[in-house]
């Protein structure tokens, strides 16, 4: 309300100054006839001086006096007429000033009520940050969010056979609380059924059973199930799980996505922008978060004050990915020469693309696998050595490549 009063007050002051200017006129203004009258009187005095100095004759002085006197009379008549009619222009100025005053104040109010928020409290930066911190500290728990979450649409009803298998799996893990593989299977199957609350609890137990060997992906999967169970809300408990994932791998995609979403939900879109900007830089064309992040990040950039932000190009899709399992199966039906040629071409294409554009751990693993099939263990060993440097800071990615290198016989 203070801003509204200040805005209207400033408009009133400006309108009052304009009105006063219209009524009083410019400082030192006088009627034109008065100015002419003063000039003509000065000319009469000048004639007398010229006559005394002998510059002009008496006849010339008399003629000039007559002409100037006629002009004096005409100027005097005009001056009296202007003085008698002076009240009308003053009244016109007063009316014009009133119109200006009304237009400014009324226009200010109309524009502000249409585009502003009358009565809305001021929101300085420090206050908004404090409110966001309070919102984050006092937001609902996971249990409350799950209790209030609406049903998740789009999940097809399971078949009776699937339900029967899941029931058996539940019974097995209930009796075998140390069955790591059982809990991992249960988490995936509960999630497939839409039972995300049961899924994240099974995933949490599986993480416990790994005894400190859980990966960033394990924790990100648990957080994903928790958020889905809460209807898309990132609870304090889910935040803790996300922190564990990001502590193990700061570039874990699912964790980064939900970390940014959490900051949006707690009033810090500026932080969310920085998180999602990093996420886009590491995203692939098939990542599920790519579309929603690209759709929302421009607005987040505005909140972060980065009005010049430009979306990065979409990650390349359809690039050569190297020999797939199907390709390798088809190769088994070829002659040795045909198989050798096919695999060699695919390996060359994949190797060239990785050298030019880089790639993910699965592509590096595919390349090492293919080289192993070709019997080129020397080259496979060199690729494995390079992969260890590329993925040194990504234990999960390195483990994917290591499995391929072990299969090719070039890693311990």
Mind listing the pLDDT tens digit for each residue in 190-219?
A: 988 889 999 999 999 999 999 999 999 999
According to DSSP, residue 358 is labeled: -
Would you tell me how many other CB atoms lie within 10 Å of the CB of residue 143? 13
Q: Which domains does the chain have, with CATH numbers?
A: 2-115 (no CATH), 137-267 (1.25.40.10), 325-407 (no CATH)
State the Cα angle at 224 between 221 and 228, rounded to 5°.
Answer: 145
Give pLDDT < 70 ranges for the chain. 1-4, 7, 19, 22-31, 33, 82-94, 96-97, 101, 112, 114-125, 154, 316-340, 342-343, 355-358
What is the DSSP secondary-structure string of 198-242? HHHHHHHHHHHHTTT---HHHHHHHHHHHHHHTTS---HHHHHHH
What is the predicted pLDDT for the residue at 239?
Answer: 96
Q: Are 400 and 373 in contact (CB under 8 A)?
A: no
Residues 6+ apart with CB under 8 A from 264: 272, 296, 300
In sign, the C-alpha dihedral spanning 247, 253, 256, 258 is negative
pLDDT digits (tens, 9 = 90+) for 225-281: 999 999 999 999 999 999 999 999 999 999 999 999 999 999 999 999 999 999 999
What is the predicted pLDDT for the residue at 27?
Answer: 44
CA of residue 387 relative to chain centroid, distance: 35
What is the predicted pLDDT for the residue at 293?
Answer: 94
Which tokens sit at 350?
Answer: 């994949």
Q: Are 50 and 56 in contact (CB under 8 A)?
A: yes
What is the predicted pLDDT for the residue at 330?
Answer: 60
What is the predicted pLDDT for the residue at 388?
Answer: 83
pLDDT digits (tens, 9 = 90+) for 105-114: 777 777 767 6
């Amino acid at each position: 309300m203070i801003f509204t009063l200040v805005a209207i007050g400033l408009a009133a002051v400006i309108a009052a100054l304009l009105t006063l200017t219209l009524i009083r006129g410019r400082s030192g203004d006088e009627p034109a006839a008065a100015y002419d009258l003063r000039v003509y009187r000065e000319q009469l005095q000048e004639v007398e001086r010229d006559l005394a100095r002998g510059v002009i004759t008496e006849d010339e002085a008399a003629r000039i006096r007559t002409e100037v006197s006629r002009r004096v009379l005409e100027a005097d008549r005009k001056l009296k007429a202007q003085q008698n009619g002076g009240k009308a222009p003053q009244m016109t100025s007063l009316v014009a000033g009133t119109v200006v005053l009304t237009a400014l104040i009324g226009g200010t109010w109309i524009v502000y009520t249409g585009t502003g928020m009358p009565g809305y409290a001021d929101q300085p930066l420090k206050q908004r940050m404090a409110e966001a911190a309070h919102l984050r500290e006092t937001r609902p728990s996971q249990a409350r969010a799950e209790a209030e979450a609406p049903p998740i649409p789009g999940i097809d009803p399971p078949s009776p056979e699937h339900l029967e298998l899941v029931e058996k799996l539940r019974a097995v893990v209930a009796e075998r609380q140390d069955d790591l593989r059982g809990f991992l299977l249960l988490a995936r199957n509960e999630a497939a059924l839409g039972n995300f609350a049961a899924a994240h609890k099974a995933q949490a137990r599986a993480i416990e059973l790994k005894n400190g060997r859980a990966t960033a992906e394990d924790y990100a999967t648990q957080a994903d199930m928790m958020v889905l169970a809460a209807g898309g809300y990132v609870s304090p408990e889910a935040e803790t799980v996300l922190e564990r994932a990001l502590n193990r791998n700061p570039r874990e995609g699912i964790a980064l996505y939900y970390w940014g979403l959490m900051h949006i939900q707690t009033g810090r879109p500026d932080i969310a922008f920085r998180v999602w900007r990093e996420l886009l830089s590491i995203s692939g064309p098939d990542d599920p978060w790519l579309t929603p992040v690209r759709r929302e990040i421009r607005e987040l950039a505005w909140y972060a004050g980065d009005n010049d932000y430009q979306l990065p190009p979409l990650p390349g899709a359809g690039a050569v990915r190297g020999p797939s399992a199907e390709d390798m199966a088809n190769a088994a039906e070829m002659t040795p020469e045909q198989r050798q040629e096919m695999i060699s071409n695919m390996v060359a294409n994949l190797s060239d693309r990785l050298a030019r554009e880089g790639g993910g751990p699965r592509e590096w693993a595919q390349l090492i696998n293919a080289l192993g099939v070709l019997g080129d263990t020397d080259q496979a060993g060199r690729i494995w050595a390079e992969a260890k440097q590329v993925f040194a800071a990504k234990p999960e990615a390195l483990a994917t490549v290591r499995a391929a290198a072990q299969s090719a016989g070039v890693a311990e």
